[in-house]
A and B are shown apart, each in its own frame.
Chain A
Amino acid sequence: MARLTRCLLALLVLMPLLAQAGGIEVRRFEDPVLEQRYDSLTATLRCPKCQNQAIGDSDSPIAGDMRDRVYRQLQDGRSDKEILDFMVRRFGDYVLYNPRLEGRTLLLWGLPAALVLVGALLVALVVRARRRASARRLTAEERARLDALIKPERTE
């Protein structure tokens, strides 16, 4: 039993090494700004093969190739936009987790804002209608009925 525990413990200690050996490489940058840009680019580019992973999280071969290009182009001094354009030209808009604002994506970006506006308009209309209803003067008939309803309680 103690032996098994020891074995398992050793395995546990070795686990992080295994994690580094397989999957995603560690890249070194001289410039912390470049490193930060690399991290954010690999987090916003979507892996075309694995659907719901950023290329920075995926160990699929194509994600590795894309990270490789991002790294090389950052070293070559390309801008973030140039790198994203480069990827979109090859893999399509699919690889952008953050779709661009353009004619085709107007509905995508505009719909939530439009819905909030419509909601606000509805609330304003309802509030106004209620306020008007409560501010209205009672007719003589309504006043008489109200008095009749209230009076018995008062006399008690």
Chain B
Amino acid sequence: MKRRLLLLLPLVGFLVLGGFLYQGLSMNPFDRDSALMADPFPSFALTTLEDPSRTVDESLLAGEVTLVNVWGEWCPTCKQEMPQLLDLADRGVRLVGVDYKDTREKGRAFLAEFGNPFEVNVFDPDGDLGFELGVYGAPETFLVDPEGVIRYHHTGYIKPEDVTQVILPEVEKWRD
């Protein structure tokens, strides 16, 4: 009897493997944590989209929970995401934009057309800050705590239901 049960071993192995593979089918390969999680926001020195003579750095993010949204005029999903960002700004969340691989004219035209939820926009025409952040597409959103540490990362589009279900709870969590 014992020997008979041993014959089932390959079947068990197959089922375990099958279970893993089945789970893989419904996994989104873009749902992976940022490598910078729990790291300080990378240092940078860039001008703002609004004012080419004003240079800002990472100290911009200190003192308050801030959502840093990486966007670009060339990015269609960013347009769809704007209503959600405006909603978040209305609910009192501080937002800072990173205009990624864009030109000043196009970036400004984008904000004029779709609204501007950002306190300020960091202008990153060469994508250098984006690279330091490990951004590989837009939009991407980082939550930075009052100490300037990255606490949450959202790859891709923030859906309307994400505003109250995901983003706001995360913001609350890191407000002292």
Contact = CB atoms under 8 A, between A and B. Distances in A.
A61 B101 CA distance: 10
A91 B29 CA distance: 14
B35 interface: yes
A62 interface: yes
A92 B35 contact: yes
B29 A90 contact: no
B137 A49 contact: yes
Contacts of A89: 35-36
A92 B34 contact: yes
B101 A48 contact: no
B29 A92 contact: no
B132 interface: yes
A48 B33 CA distance: 12
A127 to B, nearest CB: 16
Interface string B73-94: 0000000000000000000000
Interface in B114-146: 127, 131-137
A16 B135 CA distance: 32
Q: For chain B, which range describes its interface: under 10, 10 to 19, 20 to 34, or 35 or more residues?
A: 10 to 19
A88 interface: yes
A155 interface: no
Contacts of B135: 62
A94 interface: yes
A69 interface: yes
Contacts of A60: 136
Contacts of A91: 35, 134, 136
A48 B127 contact: no
Nearest to A68: B131
A65 interface: yes
A35 B50 CA distance: 42
B131 A88 contact: no
A51 interface: yes
A48 B29 CA distance: 10
A140 B56 CA distance: 98
Contact of A62 (B29, B34, B136): B136
A48 B36 CA distance: 15
A69 B34 contact: no
Contacts of B29: 51
B32 interface: yes
Contact of B134 (A48, A51, A69): A48
12 contacts: A47-B136, A49-B137, A60-B136, A62-B136, A65-B127, A65-B131, A89-B35, A90-B35, A90-B36, A90-B131, A92-B32, A93-B35
Interface of A: 47-49, 51, 60-62, 65, 69, 88-94
Interface of B: 29, 32-36, 101, 127, 131-137
Given A49-B137, A62-B137, A90-B131, 18 more contacts: A48-B134, A48-B136, A51-B29, A60-B136, A61-B127, A62-B135, A62-B136, A65-B127, A65-B131, A89-B35, A89-B36, A90-B36, A90-B133, A90-B134, A91-B35, A92-B32, A92-B34, A93-B35
